[in-house]
Amino acid sequence: MHVTQRKTALITFVLRLENSGEQRCRMRRHFRLLEKFALVCIGTLGLVYIFSHNSPSEPIDVVSREEGQPVSLPDLVAVRTEKPKHTPTCRENTSVSSLPTFAVQPQNVKDFLRYKHCRDFNLIQNVPRKCGGPENSHNVFLLLVIKSDPFNHDRRDMVRRTWGKERRFQGVQIKRVFITALSPNEHEQAKLNRVLELENRQHRDILQWDFLDTFFNLTLKQFKLLQWLDIYCPKAQFIFNGDDDVFANSDNMVEYLQGMEAGQKGGQHLYVGHLIAGVGPIRERWSKYYIPEVVTTSQSYPPYAGGGGILMSRHTASVIYSVAREIEVFPIDDVFLGMCLEKAGLAPKSHMGFRTAGVWVPSPKDDSFNPCYYRELLLVHRFRPYELLLMWEAVHNSSLRCARSPLRVALPQT
């Protein structure tokens, strides 16, 4: 019988005995005991339900599938057959506190100096079969890798619906993964981890590590991605590496890559984007990109491509990973990748289709959101989620007519 029905029956029974003095007292005591027992049972069942549904004991490893295919029960079963090896917590380097000016640095700089030697972290969410396994990963022509804060559920959802949709285009396969870590907000961390777990069960596209997702940890995120590629997806031909707030025309990327030298298939050097050269560390403390001399005394950075979006070959990704394992980490990720290229004797190249600073329009009277300015580009930064949907639909509208093409997809400029 339902607990509520039991209570009603007991109350009715007790009321019938109200006029009996001694019996009345006994039955009231009996009723209180039964009521407590019922509440304990309900509470216990509730706790069992919560822990069984919200406390996964292991990272979620899910099998990749093409979007649009039905999900069968075996697909949701973790492919890992044993518990993952737990990486010991990396210890703080306390000796850095004696460095000149360390005491007056902002907290993010202090944290970077204390923990920059730490590179081994656990993979909480994984998709080991995203590329069909290492042996079949050559079937992936373009892997879209999107850097995403754990909080950015809406952005991830819109990317999945637009340029990040897994599909076959021009006869080649496009795949997608988001790379993320732990929210620095301790009060929200458990909830956001659960959201990412649910996303990964549904979409199978989340890579999450157990370090804090902060600006200065973006380099660490890049390093762990390169390591993941080396293990799980070493033969994917090309990799796009960008933010979750960009408009990336992945169709144009495929056409550009297919138009390159026939037969390359990612086996040669390619690293293109919005080229930044002739700049150095910003020493003003108010800047997001503030780098004090206690981090580097160099006054210049090597040429690098802006981190909003970069297109590279599997060859170049592999070379960068080899170098990254040997050199000291730098807190700004796109600069660090440029340092790795310089160390390897390779150079980034500019492509006019990457507009990380937005689109230039010839007149203030022109609408900067006109899809004719975007349909031939590879990437524009930055877009709100709803703008992303509107622009993706607009540039793919068969009725779109432009007076002239402002830009054609071109080979990299040298």
User: If you write DSSP's letter for every residue of 306-349 in order, what string do you get?
Assistant: EEEEEEEEHHHHHHHHHHHTTS---SSHHHHHHHHHHHHT---E
Q: Are 349 and 256 in contact (CB under 8 A)?
A: no
Token pair recorded at residue 52:
């069984």
Residue 185, domain member (yes or no): yes
Q: Which residue has the tokens 């460095």?
A: 99
Q: Which pLDDT belongs to residue 265?
A: 79
Q: Which pLDDT belongs to residue 32?
A: 53
What whole-number distance in Å separates Cα of residue 12 and Cα of residue 8?
A: 6
How many residues belong to the chain? Answer: 414
Looking at the structure of the chain, the number of domains it has is 2
Same domain for 16 and 124?
Answer: no
What one-character DSSP code corresponds to residue 282? B
Which of 112, 176, 166 minimizes the C-alpha distance to 145? 176
Residue 288, domain member (yes or no): yes
What one-character DSSP code corresponds to residue 18? T
3-state secondary structure of 413: strand
Q: Are 348 and 341 in contact (CB under 8 A)?
A: yes
Same domain for 138 and 239?
Answer: yes
Residue 238, domain member (yes or no): yes
Residue 36, domain member (yes or no): yes
Q: Which pLDDT belongs to residue 320?
A: 99
Q: Are 183 and 152 in contact (CB under 8 A)?
A: no
Q: Which residue has the tokens 């070959």?
A: 313
What whole-number distance in Å separates Cα of residue 214 and Cα of residue 111?
A: 11
Residue 181, domain member (yes or no): yes
Token pair recorded at residue 15:
């009321």
Could you list the pLDDT tens digit for every one of the 414 residues in the chain? 444 443 343 334 334 434 444 444 444 454 455 454 544 454 444 444 433 444 343 444 444 444 444 333 333 333 332 334 555 688 999 999 999 999 999 999 999 999 999 999 999 999 999 999 999 999 999 999 999 999 999 999 999 999 999 999 999 999 999 999 999 999 999 999 999 999 999 999 999 999 999 999 999 999 999 999 999 999 999 999 999 999 999 999 999 999 986 557 789 999 999 999 999 999 999 999 999 999 999 999 999 999 999 999 999 999 999 999 999 999 999 999 999 999 999 999 999 999 988 887 777 777 888 999 999 999 999 899 999 999 999 999 999 998 765 455 544 544
What whole-number distance in Å separates Cα of residue 368 and Cα of residue 9?
A: 71
Q: Tell me how many degrees the CA angle 391-375-411 measures, rounded to the nearest 5.
A: 140
Same domain for 43 and 179?
Answer: no
**CATH code (residue 175):** 3.90.550
Q: Which residue has the tokens 């210049």?
A: 300
Q: Which pLDDT belongs to residue 388?
A: 96
Contacts of 286 (CB under 8 A, 6+ apart): none
Same domain for 152 and 230?
Answer: yes
Q: Tell me how many degrees the CA angle 337-341-347 measures, rounded to the nearest 5.
A: 120
Token pair recorded at residue 127:
């998709």
Torsion angle, alpha carbons of 15, 17, 23, 25, to 10? 20
Residue 64, domain member (yes or no): no
Same domain for 242 and 330?
Answer: yes
Residue 84, domain member (yes or no): no
Q: Which pLDDT belongs to residue 86?
A: 53
What whole-number distance in Å separates Cα of residue 348 and Cα of residue 273?
A: 8
Residue numbers of the domain that contains 16: 3-54
Which of 357, 370, 365, 380 minimizes the C-alpha distance to 406? 370
Same domain for 262 and 138?
Answer: yes
Same domain for 100 and 208?
Answer: yes
Whole-model pTM: value is 0.79
Same domain for 116 and 7?
Answer: no
Which of 325, 284, 277 minimizes the C-alpha distance to 301? 277
